[in-house]
């Protein structure tokens, strides 16, 4: 029986070349097996030519962004959006706005959300201090309510508000008077603002430039871009003050502010989230305890390489230490750290870098086991940004390959992927990579033979076709770095996350420039982020014709 990853080699770029038209599929690997989302694509698309700005469309806050925002804005740490709204469609990032679509169900759920959050905040003496700085003299204290309205709408809409706008909310004071409770007015204010598109969406207007299609974003809009990119949340008071002072449209000052924001713990959390979605380990098939331990391990590596000891980001693929506690060390069969938790050297274990870690090795399994094909797809689509076409319809990919005769060992069961020419075209691109990681099981534990089959010794030899051979994650990581295969893709993944959809048109042209900057900056990830933030393109939006 065929179990195939189908694709036409014509759709897969040569891994050795740089970006090309054939490699525009950054992160769309999900489509390779599970099909693209049927949601309407709203965006008009970017255009070819120099990268002067990205076309955009109002992006609705994802559940995670909404929860972060509610936490920062109101002190609500109960993650109500994740409890009450429908799942985001990850593609692979949660902020992919073409997958978002307003619906009656969403509107109902948002009313539920607002009705859930507002009373918990408004009628809690401690929590409401974030909103109400005055002491109301009566239930219908208009001046106090007006202060609350002005302050809250300013922060929630993430821009200055006019008196006409804030005056409208004074009508809610009638409900406070009727119920003889000032905080009923506050509750309804929250309820209204939380259902307001100007809160739920990031709306960018900007000022038209001499080019009719190009708009300069204003300082507050730039503050919002910065905060949702770097923190996945709303601007704080310091950033608001910078926007009010007009600092953000100046590229140099913008970078200085962004550097300050990267010092904030929220920047780390956001970068962890980005990696988890990019590398597919945001939800892995492990117990919650093991998944959490894996996540701590991987986050520690990201923190060290990006923040604590800023260095060549590509080191995440070759790093010779990992952060473990005793339990995780035992799990891997690595030496325990001194003091119960800490950095442990990989030594000659054959492991190095993020590809050795349980989080990444747990992702992209299939049939309750590692899948050489899926791991190959992972490397091709997520790390090399290649696009693989889905299997041709006449093959079935929902059962493990059986192989011919009485094949038992996995390598033999996958033989047809190699021997049948119609399979091999694509599987030679993927399976070769996956078999080089086969010694590392679905939970990241080293194994010498197939699970349950001692007679099936795993050779563990892998190959990136046309690039070179390797054995195990340390050698794979080294190969990817030495052959300069991942630099451009990292930039592409970052840009996709930043603009909320796959780069296209002039954005693809910009990737090579950004990628050059990344190389020139010795691949420091923070510098890549800052050079993007510094660019004119970050500070503008494009209105398609």
Residue 140 makes contact with other proteins by CB under 8 A: no
Binding residue for other proteins, selected from 239, 284, 481, 486, defined by CB under 8 A:
284
Residue 513 makes contact with other proteins by CB under 8 A: no
Residue 419 · residue 48 · CB < 8 Å: no
In the complex with other proteins, the residue whose CB is nearer, 287 or 327, is 287
Question: Cβ 174 to other proteins, closest distance in Å?
Answer: 8
Query: What's the CA gap between 310 and 406, in Å, rounded?
Result: 53
Q: What is the footprint of other proteins within residues 194-223 (CB under 8 A)?
A: 195-198, 200-201, 203-205, 215
Question: Cβ 533 to other proteins, closest distance in Å?
Answer: 22
What backbone phi and psi angles, to 5 degrees, belong to 43? -65, 145
The 207-208 sheet, strands edge to edge: 54-55, 540-542, 214-216, 207-208
Question: Cβ 446 to other proteins, closest distance in Å?
Answer: 18
Count Cβ atoms below 10 Å from residue 351 Cβ, excluding itself. 23
Query: What's the CA gap between 434 and 436, in Å, rounded?
Result: 5
In the complex with other proteins, the residue whose CB is nearer, 175 or 307, is 175
Residue 191 makes contact with other proteins by CB under 8 A: yes
**What 8-state DSSP symbol labels residue 381?**
I
Question: Cβ 280 to other proteins, closest distance in Å?
Answer: 4
Residue 363 makes contact with other proteins by CB under 8 A: yes
Residue 453 makes contact with other proteins by CB under 8 A: no
| Candidates 29-37, 229-237, 265-273, 403-411; binding stretch for other proteins (CB under 8 A) | 29-37
Pairing of strands 59-60, 54-55: unpaired
Query: What's the CA gap between 500 and 232, in Å, rounded?
Result: 12
Can you give the length of the chain in residues? Answer: 545
Residue 147 · residue 133 · CB < 8 Å: yes
The number of angstroms, rounded, from the C-alpha of 363 to the middle of its chain's C-alpha atoms is 15
Residue 425 makes contact with other proteins by CB under 8 A: no
Residue 383 makes contact with other proteins by CB under 8 A: no
Query: What's the CA gap between 460 and 491, in Å, rounded?
Result: 30
Binding residue for other proteins, selected from 101, 129, 259, 522, defined by CB under 8 A:
101
| Candidates 309-317, 353-361, 393-401, 477-485; binding stretch for other proteins (CB under 8 A) | 393-401
In the complex with other proteins, the residue whose CB is nearer, 53 or 136, is 53
Query: Which of 318, 261, 303, 223 lies closest to 525 in space, CA to CA?
Result: 303
Per-position DSSP letters for 52-103, written without gaps between them: --EE---EEPPHHHHHHHHHHHH---S-HHHHHSPPP--SSSTT-GGG----
What backbone phi and psi angles, to 5 degrees, belong to 268? -65, -50
Question: Cβ 240 to other proteins, closest distance in Å?
Answer: 21
Query: Which of 179, 196, 213, 155 lies closest to 61 in space, CA to CA?
Result: 196
Q: Is the dihedral of CA 359, 365, 370, 371 positive or negative?
A: negative
Taking CA 146 as the corner, what is the angle to CA 140 and CA 151, rounded to the nearest 5 degrees? 135
In the complex with other proteins, the residue whose CB is nearer, 165 or 524, is 165
Q: What is the footprint of other proteins within residues 396-415 (CB under 8 A)?
A: 396, 398-399
Binding residue for other proteins, selected from 21, 34, 237, 421, defined by CB under 8 A:
34
Residue 392 makes contact with other proteins by CB under 8 A: yes
Binding residue for other proteins, selected from 48, 50, 83, 129, defined by CB under 8 A:
83
In the complex with other proteins, the residue whose CB is nearer, 179 or 345, is 179
Beta bridge partners of 55: 542
Residue 445 makes contact with other proteins by CB under 8 A: no
Q: What is the footprint of other proteins within residues 36-55 (CB under 8 A)?
A: 36-40, 42-44, 55
Binding residue for other proteins, selected from 11, 47, 71, 106, defined by CB under 8 A:
106
Query: Which of 436, 461, 279 lies closest to 354 in space, CA to CA?
Result: 279
Q: What is the footprint of other proteins within residues 165-184 (CB under 8 A)?
A: 165, 168-169, 171-172, 175, 178-179
How many residues contact other proteins, by CB under 8 A? 87
Query: Which of 283, 280, 473, 443 lies closest to 368 in space, CA to CA?
Result: 443
Residue 324, helix vs strand vs coil = strand
Exposed/middle/buried for residue 452 (C-beta within 10 Å: 0-12, 13-18, 19+): exposed
Residue 109 makes contact with other proteins by CB under 8 A: yes
**What 8-state DSSP symbol labels residue 367?**
T
Residue 188 makes contact with other proteins by CB under 8 A: yes
Interface characters, 309-348, with other proteins (x: CB under 8 A): ----------------------------------------
Residue 420 makes contact with other proteins by CB under 8 A: no
Interface characters, 235-274, with other proteins (x: CB under 8 A): ----------------------------------------
In the complex with other proteins, the residue whose CB is nearer, 174 or 245, is 174
| Candidates 79-87, 138-146, 349-357, 493-501; binding stretch for other proteins (CB under 8 A) | 79-87
Please give the span between the terminal C-alpha atoms of the chain, in angstroms, as a whole number. Answer: 50
């Amino acid at each position: 029986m065929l179990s195939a990853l189908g694709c036409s080699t014509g759709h897969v770029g040569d891994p050795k070349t740089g970006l090309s038209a054939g490699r525009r599929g950054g992160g769309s690997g999900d489509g390779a097996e599970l099909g693209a989302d049927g949601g309407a694509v709203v965006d008009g698309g970017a255009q070819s030519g120099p990268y002067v700005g990205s076309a955009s469309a109002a992006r609705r806050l994802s559940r995670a962004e909404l929860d972060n925002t509610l936490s920062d804005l109101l002190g609500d740490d109960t993650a109500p959006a994740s409890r009450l709204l429908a799942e985001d469609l990850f593609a692979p990032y949660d902020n992919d706005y073409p997958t978002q679509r307003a619906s009656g169900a969403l509107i109902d759920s948002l009313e539920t959300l607002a009705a859930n959050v507002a009373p918990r905040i408004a009628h809690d003496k401690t929590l409401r201090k974030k909103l109400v700085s005055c002491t109301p003299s009566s239930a219908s204290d208009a001046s106090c309510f007006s202060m609350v309205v002005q302050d809250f709408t300013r922060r929630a809409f993430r821009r200055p508000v006019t008196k006409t706008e804030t005056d409208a909310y004074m009508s809610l004071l009638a409900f406070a008077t009727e119920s003889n409770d000032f905080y009923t007015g506050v509750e309804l204010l929250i309820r209204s603002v939380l259902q307001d598109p100007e809160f739920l969406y990031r709306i960018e207007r900007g000022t038209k430039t001499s080019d009719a299609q190009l708009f300069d974003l204003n300082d507050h809009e730039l503050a919002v871009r910065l905060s949702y990119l770097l923190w996945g949340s709303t601007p704080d008071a310091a950033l608001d003050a910078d926007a009010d002072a007009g600092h953000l449209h100046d590229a140099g000052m913008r970078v200085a502010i962004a550097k300050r924001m990267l010092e904030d713990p929220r920047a780390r959390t956001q970068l962890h989230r980005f990696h988890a979605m990019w590398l597919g380990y945001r939800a892995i098939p492990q117990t919650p305890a093991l998944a959490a331990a894996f996540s701590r391990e991987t986050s520690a590596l990201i923190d060290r390489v990006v923040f604590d000891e800023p260095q060549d980001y590509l080191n995440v693929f070759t790093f010779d230490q990992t952060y473990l506690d005793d339990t995780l060390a035992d799990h891997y069969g690595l030496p325990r750290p001194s003091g119960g938790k800490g950095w442990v050297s990989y030594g000659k274990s054959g492991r190095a870098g993020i590809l050795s870690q349980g989080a990444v090795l747990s992702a992209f399994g299939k049939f309750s086991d590692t899948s050489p094909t899926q791991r190959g797809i992972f490397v091709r689509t997520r790390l090399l940004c290649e696009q693989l076409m889905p299997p041709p319809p006449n093959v079935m990919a929902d059962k493990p390959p059986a192989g011919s005769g009485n094949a038992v060992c996995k390598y033999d069961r996958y033989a047809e992927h190699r021997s049948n020419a119609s399979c091999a075209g694509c599987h030679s691109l993927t399976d070769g990579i996956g078999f080089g990681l086969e010694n590392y099981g679905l939970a990241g534990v080293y194994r010498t033979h197939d699970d349950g089959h001692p007679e099936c010794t795993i050779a563990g030899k892998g190959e990136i076709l046309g690039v070179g051979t390797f054995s195990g994650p340390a050698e794979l990581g080294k190969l990817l770095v030495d052959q300069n295969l991942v630099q451009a893709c990292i930039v592409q993944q970052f840009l996709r996350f930043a603009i909320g959809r796959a780069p296209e048109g002039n954005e693809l042209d910009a990737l090579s420039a950004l990628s050059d900057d990344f190389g020139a900056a010795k691949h420091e990830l923070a510098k890549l982020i800052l050079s993007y933030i510094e660019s004119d393109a970050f500070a503008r939006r494009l209105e398609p014709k």
